[in-house]
Every structure is written in structure tokens, then in C-alpha cells.
Chain A
Amino acid sequence: MAVQKAIPFHVPYALHTLHNGLRVVLSEDHSVPVVAVVVLYDVGARNEPHGRTGFAHLFEHMMFQGSANVKKGEFYTYVEDNGGVLNGMTSSDFTIYFEVMPSNQLELALWLEADRMRSLQVNQENLDNQREVVKEEKRLRVDNQPFAYARGILLYELAYDNFANAHSVIGSMEDLDAATLEDVQRFFRTYYAPNNAVLAIAGDFEEQQALEWVRKHFGDIPPQEPPQPVDVSEPERSVERRATYTDRLANLPAVAIAWKVPPRHSPERYALAILDRVLFSGESARLHQRLVKREKSALGVSGGLEDRRGPGLFTTFVVFKPDRSFEQIERSIDAEVEAIQQKGVRASELQRARNQIRAERFRGVWGGLYGLQTPLGRAMELAYHTLFDGDPALVNTELQRYLDVTADEVREATTRFLVPRNRTVLHILPGATAVHEE
């Protein structure tokens, strides 16, 4: 059956900068009476010094603890009582907050975000309380789950050489215990300034009205000295790094591999994004076909390109059956990587990767919430491109850079980066009670 011509799609946007340096990016769409407000701060775990790991994330929790005109707990109730949802997320690269509201409550969301950007109020009791909440979050997400520590924390600590990149977002509980109210206040002054943030609004609103509200609520929040830039550069590796970890909660073995790869927007990174789809995306992808289907050795294969503003990682994680060996699994992964280094990728694989990337823009990668069909997805994409790249136009133009990647470029990037000396290999041994055999 004939494949029809691609239908064009375009996200409209307007970028403004306030006197205090706050960048504001707006994207109107009136199809649903919903509006998304995103505030993206240029601070993440990468900014944490030794002895203060986990602080950026703990601070994210503090942002819900009250400001001059919004008491503790009221941030949630103002948003939800008016029909909205909200959340915050911290990564190594950034901290992001969002509200999705019925569109007639846009000004409320702006007021809430402005009030905490201007006048966050923290006290010892709230700090202590949120420290306990974060400790439970770590027990829930990491300490009590099989593979979570090895795959989500240890692998990164081994794969990166620069502390700024290597340490985890959740951080160490000892470091969190050492954090003081003064740390919280200093962190707020340094990083939560209008000139260190991007505000993005997408959905059902009128641009002039929205801008007026933005100026009214954010316009006179004073700017601060720009924070010191973080050095996230990574030295080149000359030898492969290998480690073994026994996971007392796991009952199956697993192998995790991470290769160091270049930062966002380096030319090779687009080729590696295509490689990601060739190896991992869908059941016809090479590693699933080989390890799960043909060799029947793995339960599942995941991984791919993990983008960062600075150097990133290309990872692979395979949980495999107890009667297989680490050597067998590694040999199979190596064989697929080497095949691409020698013969490149097929035209059909390239086409598949291109179409998958085009479709992912709408589907979103995390269960749909963040795809470009939602106001939140559009606001987030615009905010990322504005803060990281200084260019919201990329929301429309970057696609072409993926579509332009050639088979040769994929082969070259694989040959250059997916080599043993550039990688970390972690063997995870099951330490839980052996599985019972009937």
C-alpha cells in the first residue's frame, strides 16, 4: 500500500525577555481550554559541590513549602482546587516546575510561580520534614528496588570521571543531613533568579494578555549575579572500566554498559540518536531481536542515548536468564555493535528510525504526557530549547537534523564512540534468595 506524503506540523511561538533577564516563551493553541505553565531553572545536580549532593533535589521539595503570600501546603491546593495538576523534577542538568490548569486560571499559576521565585520562605521545621520525605523517596525508588542502585546510580558514578556529572540526583543522605537553612537561602539567591530561568506558557491564552500578567507578577523580581558556570567536561578514557556488584534484592543477573558520548547538538549526537533506534526502538530493533528472540537469553533489553547538555552516555541494560553467562551476553552486544561498525545500518533501518523519531514528537516518550500534542509537552520543549540552546525555533527545525543523518554517519559515530576503551561495564549479580525450581 502506498505511503502518503508527510503532513506538515508547526509549533508557533514568541520569545520575549523581561528587563530582569527572565526569558518568556509563549505558544498559543486554542483547541482545548487548558494552559501549561513551565518554569525551568538553570540548576541541577551538576551544580552541587562535594559534600552537598542531593541538594538541588531537596531544594525542589522546598519550593512547595511556602512563600511570602502562599503558606505551606497552599501551593498544591491553589492549583488543584482550581482544577489543575502540578509537579517538579530535578535532573543533573536542570530543575523544572509545571502547572497544567483550566485556561481561565492562567494568572493564578503565574502568580504562584512568581511568588516563590520572589520570596521563598523556608524554616527549620519544613527543611527537616522534607529531608525525611526525600529519604523515603530514596528508599522507595532506589534502596528497596532490585537493580535500581546499580543501574541508576553506580553505573553513572563509574561511567563519568567528572564529579559534576557522576554523582546522583538523589545524592547521599549524609550530605542531606548536613544541609542547613543557610545553604537553602544561598542556593535560592544564587540560582532561583529570573535571569537564571525560562518561563514557558503553552495552550489556550491570548499573547498580549499573558505578557501583561507575566510583567505584572515577574517584572520586578530582582536579577542576581549570574552563577559560576560548571565545568562538565569529561576526560577521554584510555582503558575500559569494569566492575561487579551484588544486588541483594535481585534474583536474576544483569549487565549494564555505558559509553561516553558527546554533548547535545554535537553533529555525532544525531547519528547516535539514529543508532539508538536501530539498536533499541521496538521489537524489530537489533538487540531485542538478537538477545530476546534469536538467542533467547534476555528477558528484556533497554538503553540508548541519554542526552545531557554536557557529555552524555549511550547505555545498554540487559536482564538475562540465570543459565546464561556475562560473557555470552557481552559477546552478543559486541557483535551487533561491530556489525554496524563494519557494515553500517540498512536503508530500511534508517527509514524506520526516521519515522520513529517523527512519531515520537507526537506520542511523547514518557507515556504521552510530554508529546507535542499536549500544552505541557509544547511548553517543556520550548523551555528546554530556550534555556539549553538559546533557540526555541529548534522545536520545529531540529527534526530535520535527525532526518538528514546518513548511514555513513551512523557507522562513523558507532566506530568512534562505541569502543571498549570508552566504556564502563557493570556486572550485577543476583544476591536475593535463589529462585525456587519446581
Chain B
Amino acid sequence: MKTMVPVVTTPPPPSALRPLVLPRREEFVTAGGLRLILVEDNRVPFVTLRLVVRVGSAHDPADLPGLAGLTAHCLTQGTRKRRSFQFAKAVEELGATLEAHANRDFTTVSATVLAENLSTLLQLMGETVLTPAFAPDEVELAKENTIQTLRYQRTQPNFLARERYAQVVFGKHPYSRIAPTEQAVSEMTPDTLREFHDRYYAPDNSLLVVVGAVDDAQLQKALDKAFAGWRPQGVRHEAHEPPPSRQERTVHIVDRPGSVQVNLLMGHLAPRPNEPDFLPLEVVNTALGGRAGSRLFLNVREQKGFAYDVSSHLSEHREASSFSMSAQVRPEVVGEAVEGMLKEVETLRRDGLTANELDSAKNYLNGTFSIRLSTQGGIASEIAAIEMLELPKDSMETYRERVQAVTLQTVHDVVRGRLSAECMAIVAVGEAEQIRSSLEPFGKVEVRPAM
């Protein structure tokens, strides 16, 4: 017989904290000058790789938005040695994945592979990065599909919201473009892609991160071979004028006929990830709308039932970040929802966080940091971000201490200096007729069609 134990009515205390051993990073340089950061992880017979190249949509020529994206896409569509089918077949027969994608600041060629097949995969990665074919028929098909995809994206409310938001918040800065234009895509040729590739895809502009069950001597040998002949280009990056800060609140409606919901995205510029204000703002974002127990979630969703998803975000870009809040609500409550969300920002500016909220947010950031580091991909992304966003080299090692060091005073200073309900751009995607009058109280309204 088991003895009856009374029901426990209060939360059990934590047991002793176990240390998080940060993955040990080793750094090498290949014969050709490519820097490599290796983290040995033998928990699974699997390897995750990220080759990051510092070229993103911010590098697109003004008249050719989408060039970095199309170049990344076509990179894996065949090499001088293999047609696209042969190349995909060679990768996939290993059980591997290999794909390339450009964001605003950098391009990531990411790969995963069973550990036993690593050296073959590296050979293929080298081949595609050094000698992409940019064959005319592949580029033609990619252009056609990009244009069709763009038209399809214009039916998606989330895309429309992000597109307009970027235009309004980043102004003339290249971050204002999140997608190509049909005009620009039609003008791109295999030569445009090749020149862009040759200019930026170079060892002195790249970094390879490898996390997994790897023998480092073998890896170095395979890498020297895979990236042999890759030459530094002395890559230079143009400086952009920083985007202007906003002085007033404005409303931007994207008229999407047939909408049954309004997609709201509102915000303004935020500090760069390597500025001292960034981390305290990350703490604030966590408390305001970065998690389920946040103010926005508890008030707008759990109390009011206005939205399924309501949250806030702090984006990480090299030249300028953005702080934003988002929600998808039914048209009848759009005014109340916007008011409720702006009010949370005003309350925060007036009162800051409570001591309890501050501790909770710090615990959350530090706990989820450990969770992120439980996957190879998570470790690789952290390391790549340090390099691409110009964070201090010891960012990972000092992260938890830096989070712990954030005080109520720092938080309050940062909130007052960096957040403002009065200067937000409010983007709303929905039926303009239904929502216009509810949004007029918040600022000057501008309406544009979705298509």
C-alpha cells in the first residue's frame, strides 16, 4: 500500500542549479583564408553547418532590389560540374540538406548531414559556393517563379503588413525593402548574378560554422580541399545613411478586400544589437510582449479576447533594428486593440517594470538561452550572429551575466529613451472601409491598395 501524501498547494522550490557548460569553440583558418569556427558535439551522429557571407538585401543596388535573394536562390541550382538535378541528387543521397537564403545583412548557406557523410557534403558545399553555374535556363525559371511568388505573397496579410511597415519605418534606408519588384527581377541576367556573386562571395567576407560530431583533423583536410582556390577579394561595404527617427504617429492602411481580420503591426526604430541599450530593451520586450506571460498577452488576449496572437518583437539588424508590436484582431475591435497596445507602452514609460517582472524577464531570457543551445542549429546561429552583427566576441560567454546586470533603473532609462507610443508607425492590413474611422484617432491615415 502506498501512503497518501497531501496535495501540494504551493509551487515546489527549485533544486540546485546545474551549470551550463558553454560549447567550446575552436577557430581555424583554411589554406585559402576562410575562417572556421568549430564546436564539437558528439551527442548525435549529425553535423550542422552554416556558411555565412556578409551580403544581404542591404547590398542590393538601388535599382535591383532582390538581387542578393535571387543570387542565393540560384547558388544551389547547379554548378559548373553538375546540373541542378545532379547537384540536388548528390546532396540528398547523403541524407543531407543544403540551401542558401539571404536576409537583410547576410546570406546563409546552411547544411545538415549525417556525420558519416560530412566530407562529401563539404565538397558539394565548396563546389556550389565557389563555382555556381547561374545557367541561363535556371536563372530564367527562378526569375519567373520569383515573380509568381511575389504575386502570391501579395495575397498574404502578414507579408503585406511587413512590407508596408518596413517602407514606413526605414524610409530611404535599404532595409525598407523586404521583397524584390517585378521590374527589377525581369532585368536581372545570369551575368548580373555572377558579378554580384564574384564581388561578395569571398573567404575574407565569410565565416564557416560547424557544429557536430566531427574529427577536427579530418575536417581541416576536407575543408582545405573543398574550398581550395577561393581567393580573398578585399570586399568593401558601403555605409548607408541611418534611417530617420520618427517624430509623430501615423496610420498606414493596406486595403485588402475580403479580409475577415485586421493584421496590425506597429512600431519604430530601435538600437542596433551592438549598442548598450539593446540588451535592456530585450528585457523590456520580454516583459511587454515577448512571451505568453507578458503584459500584452495577458491583457489583450487573456483578459479581452481580442486576439489569438499578440506579441512584441525586437528585430536584430546590423545597421538599425526595429521594435514592434503585432496582433491580428477582428475589425470591430481594432480601435480598442490599438488603444490597449499603445497604452501598455505608455504605462511602461511612466512606471517602468516591477522588480518581479524584471526578475522574471531575466530568468526567461537566460533559461531560453540554454534551451537554444540544446540544438546544433541553435549554437550555430548564435555564433553566426556574433560575427555578422558585429557583437563582442565573448557575447555568448557573458550573455547571462549581462542579463543579470540589468537593473530597474537601466530599464526605465531605456524605455524612456527608446520607446514611444507617440511616434509609432501603425500599419493595418484589412478592409479599409471597415477600419478607417476606428483608426483615425491615432494619427494621420494613409490608405494604399494591396495589389
Contact = CB atoms under 8 A, between A and B. Distances in A.
Report whether chain A binds chain B: yes
A82 B14 contact: yes
A17 to B, nearest CB: 13
A1 B116 CA distance: 11
B288 interface: no
Contacts of A348: 89, 93
A16 interface: no
A3 B95 CA distance: 12
Contacts of A133: 301-302, 305, 307-308
A352 B114 CA distance: 12
Contacts of B236: none
B79 to A, nearest CB: 14
Given A129-B303, A136-B308, A140-B328, A6 B261 contact: no
A152 interface: no
Contact of A217 (B2, B8, B85, B182): B8
Interface in A83-115: 83-86, 100-108, 111-112
Interface string B292-329: 11000110011101111100000000000000000011
Nearest to B45: A7
Contacts of A33: 17-20, 370
How many B residues are at the interface, by size bracket? 35 or more
Contact of B4 (A73, A104, A140, A220): A220
A117 to B, nearest CB: 12
A403 B350 CA distance: 62
Contacts of B152: 146, 251-252, 299, 319
Nearest to B301: A133
Contact of B330 (A69, A108, A136): A136
A215 B120 CA distance: 50
A34 interface: yes
Contacts of B183: 438
Interface stretch (A226-234, A326-334, A355-363): A355-363
B156 interface: yes
A107 B93 CA distance: 44
B359 interface: yes
Interface in B64-106: 76, 84-85, 88-89, 91-97
Interface string A282-307: 11110001001100100100000000
B371 interface: yes
B239 interface: no
B361 to A, nearest CB: 9
B293 A283 contact: no
B189 interface: no
A357 B123 CA distance: 22
Interface string B339-381: 0000000000000000000011001101110110111111000
Contact of B44 (A9, A217, A432): A9
A352 B84 contact: no
Contact of B360 (A80, A139, A213, A282): A80
A251 B157 CA distance: 13
B309 A140 contact: yes
Nearest to B151: A435
B260 A32 contact: no
A187 B378 CA distance: 39
Contact of A375 (B123, B261, B306, B374): B374
B293 A252 contact: no
A236 interface: no
Interface in B1-19: 2, 4-5, 7-19
Contact of B11 (A8, A111, A363): A111
A325 interface: no
A6 B370 contact: no
Given A31-B43, A73-B293, A3 B12 contact: no
B93 A249 contact: no
B25 to A, nearest CB: 16
B8 A6 contact: no
Nearest to A87: B292
Interface string B206-234: 00000001000000000000000000000
A220 B5 contact: yes
Given A140-B308, A351-B93, A85 B368 contact: yes
B258 interface: yes
Contacts of A129: 302-303, 305
Nearest to A281: B92
Contacts of A34: 370-371, 374
Interface in A139-176: 139-140, 143-146
B407 interface: no
Nearest to A209: B15
Given A73-B298, A137-B308, A144 B18 contact: no
Give the top 7 A-B pairs by smallest Cβ distance, nearest first: A83-B367, A355-B95, A132-B305, A7-B45, A81-B360, A137-B308, A359-B95
13 contacts: A32-B374, A76-B297, A84-B367, A107-B14, A135-B330, A136-B308, A139-B261, A143-B260, A220-B5, A282-B88, A284-B88, A293-B141, A362-B112
Interface of B: 2, 4-5, 7-20, 43-46, 76, 84-85, 88-89, 91-97, 112-117, 119-120, 123, 141, 144-145, 148-149, 151-152, 154-157, 182-183, 213, 257-261, 263, 291-293, 297-298, 301-303, 305-309, 328-330, 359-360, 363-364, 366-368, 370-371, 373-378, 451
Given A33-B20, A81-B293, 18 more contacts: A4-B117, A5-B116, A6-B114, A72-B302, A76-B292, A80-B363, A85-B371, A101-B367, A102-B14, A107-B15, A129-B305, A250-B155, A283-B84, A348-B93, A355-B114, A355-B117, A362-B45, A368-B377
